[in-house]
Structure 1
Amino acid sequence: MTAVSIRPARPQDVPTILALIRALAEYEKLLHEVTATEAALHAGLFGPRPHAEAVLAWDGDEAAGFALYFHSFSTFLARPGIYLEDLFVRPEYRGRGIGKALLAEVARVAVARGCGRLEWAVLDWNAPAIAFYRRFGAQALADWTVHRISGPALHTLAAQARPR
């Protein structure tokens, strides 16, 4: 068993990240929702105005997992936060502390950048993930419900914006 290393994603990692995203989606039974392409992912992570960042866990030359995150902002704190979009460890690498190492790295980034919080969403049926996060002191926000507008509804709402 080799030591696992954690490092920031590089442009050449995009195909690996996309494969990990697809593996996560398959685990969550949401593969049918993945429309990401390497080009779109590259633009989002490494384009002129990157929208997200990622860190990868490597076991030698094999990608064991990843965490993808981006900045948010808390008006109540008047400080930035980090939103953890995805954290995934391939099943064959689970139980080795890789998920904790990825989460700790994102937390390190948040603290180094003066963030006031680190947040994420977990599917309510994913008991192993919920238990994993609770081990580190994460609390479910029972009074909050995630909402989403996407696809045609997003475009319909955007069309109703006042002209600039």
Structure 2
Amino acid sequence: MTTIRPATRADVPQILAFVRELAEFEREPDAVVATEAMLEHALFGEGSAEAVMAEAGGKPVGFALFFHNFSTWTGRKGLYLEDLYVTPDARGQGVGTALLAHLAGVALDRDCARFEWAVLDWNKAAIDVYRKIGAVGMDEWRIQRVSGEALERLAGRKA
């Protein structure tokens, strides 16, 4: 049976390990620059993000990290899932669905209008799970990102 609980400071090293495993899975093993200190600050300092842990048999088998966004169309906040990860040996056992169901409950408890996330287009297993639970792909929307030097240039802080 899977247990979902709020993350604590003691979970930060495990969360970072899961983030690194997720980056490996998403074919970006060298992209993680986050540190334990950065995650601890975001989760328990400034509170810009939250996380929950999934456990089976008292052992961590996954996590979800999320934060609030806002919809001007609904006039209400939403819940945005940044990362969801389940260890390879726990996949196919309902852990990911349990994490999603937990966060759906959080969204309802907090009067959120939406619960949203992004998925890589090649991750068919995840997309299949999302369709089964009723998630709708927003295929007409394209995520845009500015980071690094491009962000600095856009802000006028680098030539």
**TM-score exceeds 0.5:** yes
Amino acid across the alignment from 2:5:
R
Note the 1:3-152 alignment, pairs <5 A.
3-47=1-45, 49-152=46-149
What is the CA-CA distance between 1:147 and the residue it aligns to?
0.4
CA distance in 2, matches of 1:105, 1:158: 38
Q: Percent of pairs identical after alignment?
A: 54
Alpha-carbon separation, structure 2, partners of 1:21 and 1:61: 20
Q: CA RMSD in A?
A: 1.0
Count of residue correspondences? 157
Partner AA of 2:117 in structure 1: W
Deviation (angstroms), 1:31: 1.4
Shift of the alpha carbon at 1:4? Answer: 2.1
State the alpha-carbon separation in 1 of the partners of residues 113 and 12 from structure 2.
29
Which segments of structure 1 move beyond 2 Å, counting only runs of 4 or more? none
TM-score norm. by structure 2 comes to: 0.95
**Structure 1 unaligned blocks of 5 or more:** none
Distance apart, 1:121 and its partner CA: 0.5
Contact (CA 8 Å) 2:79, 2:114: kept in 1 or not?
A: yes
Q: Separation in 2 of the partners of 1:82 and 1:156? A: 30
Determine if contact 2:2/2:98 at 8 Å carries over to the other structure.
Answer: no
Shift of 1:159: 2.7
Gaps of 5+ in 2: none
TM-score by length of 1: 0.93
Letter in 1 for 2:120: L
Please report how far the alpha carbon of residue 142 of structure 1 lies from its aligned counterpart in structure 2 after TM superposition. 1.6
Residue 95 of structure 1 and its aligned partner are, at CA, apart by: 1.4
Aligned with 1:18: secondary structure?
helix
| Distance (Å, rounded) in 2 between the aligned partners of 1:37 and 1:134 | 33
